[in-house]
Amino acid sequence: MIRGAAAPAEHRLVTPSAMVGRSEDATVTIAGDPLISRAHARVTFLGGRAQIEDMGSSHGTFVNGRRIAGPTPLRPGDVIIMGETTLRYEGSSL
């Protein structure tokens, strides 16, 4: 995490699919940001490549400043914004 309401942390992505949201059941839980949905976005790995998809959140998911409308490929260094939280994808972590 680059910045947000929660303390900066690295979230290792070790499963084929990772849910990101406010829910304690999310793979990556982001607490303290009221603009993030309980199940905000999902990161999946297909054929060695990562992609992110917004799960119908109210405030959207942005990759490198652009709101995504469907599954969007992720590359190391991509900046993801959800609510007031900014994350950076680093290949195997957020």
What pLDDT sits at residue 91?
Answer: 82
Q: Which tokens sit at 9? A: 């942390």
Confidence of residue 12 (pLDDT cuts 50, 70, 90): confident
* pTM confidence score: 0.86
Residue 14 or residue 19, greater confidence: 19
Q: Which tokens sit at 57? A: 């959140």
Structure confidence by residue, pLDDT tens digits, 21-72: 999 999 989 888 999 999 999 999 988 899 999 999 999 999 999 999 999 9
- Sign of the four-CA dihedral 17, 23, 88, 68: positive
